[in-house]
Structure formats: C-alpha cells, structure tokens
Amino acid sequence: MIDLSSINKIYIIPGYTDLRLGIDGYAAIVEGKFNQVPTDGSLFLFCNKNRNKVKVLHFEYDGFWLYYKRLETGHIKWPKNDVLAEIEKRQLRWLLDGLKIEQKALKKCDIKHVI
C-alpha cells in the first residue's frame, strides 16, 4: 500500500480514463485538463470504464510512481461527479476496499440500552 504519511492531497480524476496511458500521459491530463501540478506530492486517481482497475499517479522527491490495482471480482465505487474531487486518506482506503467514499455517520450508542 502507498505510504500516505507524506501525501499532500488526494484527487479523484472524474469520469473514466483510458488506462493504457503511461506516466507522461497521466501527468499531461493532470496539468492540461485540471490545471494541477503533478509534482506537488499529491496522489491522482484514475479509473477505467469497467470500474475494475485503478491507477494512481504519485510524485516522490526524485521521480514518479504509477500504482495499479485490478479487482478480480466486483467493482470500484467510483464517484459520478464531473469535477476534480479532493478526498481524505480514509476515503482512499474505503475506495480501494470497494466501499463508497461517502459513508453514513455512525449513530451514537446510548449505554443504558446496551445489553
């Protein structure tokens, strides 16, 4: 898993992306289409149309990483927004674990009613 301790921000690239691209292709999308700097230490997540593959572009101090995950079963719960979305580290974990990035809040438990 990616070491998230040094990550500045995490962005989800909206829609679906052709995952045959390489590092330079994803960096060009980040810069050209979304006016972001791919070398700022952020993670940029891309998903394919079938929602079973994710690639993550990440720049570390001296070069790029391109992480790739392919699900053997199921689908990634990719958000259906049309804009670049910033998510939190826990939302990244949820997404990669097959959950939605919007989780319902837990209800507080009244200790008097617990058996």
Residues 6+ apart with CB under 8 A from 29: 13, 17, 21, 46
- Please check the confidence at residue 108 and state whether its pLDDT lies above 70: no
Q: Please list, in sequence order, all residues whose beta carbon lies within 8 angstroms of the beta carbon of residue 18, skipping any fewer than 6 positions away.
A: 48
What does the pLDDT look like over 30-60, one tens digit per residue?
999 999 999 999 999 999 999 999 999 999 8
Record the pTM: 0.85
The model's confidence at residue 81, banded by pLDDT at 50, 70 and 90, is confident
- DSSP character string of 28-43: HHHHHHH---TTSS-E
